[in-house]
Homo-oligomer: A and B are copies of this chain.
Amino acid sequence: MYASNLYAPTLREVPAEAEIPSHQLMLRAGFIRKAAGGVYTYLPLAWRTLRKIEQIIREEMDAAGGQEIAMPIMQPSELWKESGRWEVFGDEMFKVNDRHGREFCLGPTHEEIITDLVRNEIRSYKQLPVLLYQIQNKYRDEIRPRFGLMRGREFIMKDLYSFDKDESGLDISYQKMYDAYTNIFNRCGLVFRPVEADGGAIGGSNTHEFTALAQTGESEIAVCTKCDYAANNEKAELALIEAPAETELALEKVATPDTKTIEAVIEYLNLPIEKSIKAVAFEDEHDRLICAFVRGDHEVNEVKLQNAVEAVSLRMADENVITAAGGVAGFMSPIGLDRKKAVVVVDQSVMAMKNACCGANEADKHYINANPQRDFGEAIVKDIRLIAAGDPCPHCGAPVEITRGIEIGQVFKLGTKYSNAMHAGFLDENGREKPFVMGCYGIGVSRTMSAAIEQLHDENGIIWPKAIAPYEVAIVPINAKDEAQMELAETIYQALKNAHVDVLLDDRKERAGVKFKDADLIGYPVRITIGPKAINEDNIETKVRKTGEIFNFTKENYLVKVQELLQDL
Q: Interface code A149-164, partner B: CB below 8 Å = 1, 0 otherwise?
A: 0000110000000000
- 19 contacting pairs across A/B (C-beta < 8 A): A7-B130, A7-B132, A33-B120, A35-B75, A35-B116, A36-B74, A36-B104, A40-B72, A41-B71, A41-B113, A41-B117, A43-B69, A44-B68, A47-B68, A47-B69, A73-B73, A74-B106, A91-B99, A95-B96
Q: How many Å lie between the Cα of A98 and that of B91 in the bound state? A: 8
Q: Separation in Å of the A4 CB from the closest CB of chain B? A: 9
A42 / chain B contacts, CB cutoff of 8 Å: 69-70
Q: How many Å lie between the Cα of A431 and that of B40 in the bound state? A: 32
- How many A residues touch B, CB cutoff 8 Å? 49
The residue on B at minimum CB distance from A93 is: B99
Cβ of B69 and Cβ of A44 under 8 Å apart?
A: yes
Q: Which of A50-85 contact B (CB under 8 A)?
A: 50, 65, 67-76
14 more A-B contacts (CB under 8 A) besides A33-B121, A35-B72, A41-B72? A6-B67, A7-B69, A35-B74, A35-B75, A36-B72, A36-B75, A36-B76, A39-B72, A41-B71, A42-B70, A43-B69, A72-B154, A73-B154, A98-B141
Q: How many Å lie between the Cα of A36 and that of B70 in the bound state? A: 14
Q: How many Å lie between the Cα of A113 and that of B130 in the bound state? A: 39
Interface of A is mostly: mixed
Confirm or deny: A94 has a beta carbon within 8 angstroms of a beta carbon on chain B.
yes
Q: Separation in Å of the A449 CB from the closest CB of chain B? A: 12
A69 / chain B contacts, CB cutoff of 8 Å: 7, 41-44, 47
A76 / chain B contacts, CB cutoff of 8 Å: 35-36, 39
The residue on B at minimum CB distance from A43 is: B69
Q: How many Å lie between the Cα of A9 and that of B127 in the bound state? A: 10
Chain A interface residues (CB < 8 Å from chain B):
5-7, 9, 33, 35-36, 39-44, 47, 50, 65, 67-76, 91, 94-96, 98-99, 102, 104, 106, 113, 116-117, 120-122, 130, 132, 137, 139, 141, 143, 153-154
Q: How many Å lie between the Cα of A153 and that of B70 in the bound state? A: 15
Q: How many Å lie between the Cα of A41 and that of B133 in the bound state? A: 12
Q: How many Å lie between the Cα of A139 and that of B98 in the bound state? A: 11
Cβ of A41 and Cβ of B67 under 8 Å apart?
A: no
Cβ of B35 and Cβ of A65 under 8 Å apart?
A: no
Q: How many Å lie between the Cα of A39 and that of B113 in the bound state? A: 12
Cβ of A137 and Cβ of B47 under 8 Å apart?
A: no
A98 / chain B contacts, CB cutoff of 8 Å: 94, 141, 153
The residue on B at minimum CB distance from A44 is: B67
Which has the most chain B C-beta neighbours within 10 Å: A6, A69, A117, A132?
A69
Cβ of B67 and Cβ of A35 under 8 Å apart?
A: no
A72 / chain B contacts, CB cutoff of 8 Å: 35-36, 39-41, 154
Cβ of A74 and Cβ of B39 under 8 Å apart?
A: yes
A120 / chain B contacts, CB cutoff of 8 Å: 33
Q: How many Å lie between the Cα of A68 and that of B51 in the bound state? A: 11
Cβ of A96 and Cβ of B106 under 8 Å apart?
A: yes
Cβ of B41 and Cβ of A73 under 8 Å apart?
A: no
Cβ of B139 and Cβ of A74 under 8 Å apart?
A: yes
Q: Separation in Å of the A74 CB from the closest CB of chain B? A: 5
Cβ of B71 and Cβ of A153 under 8 Å apart?
A: no
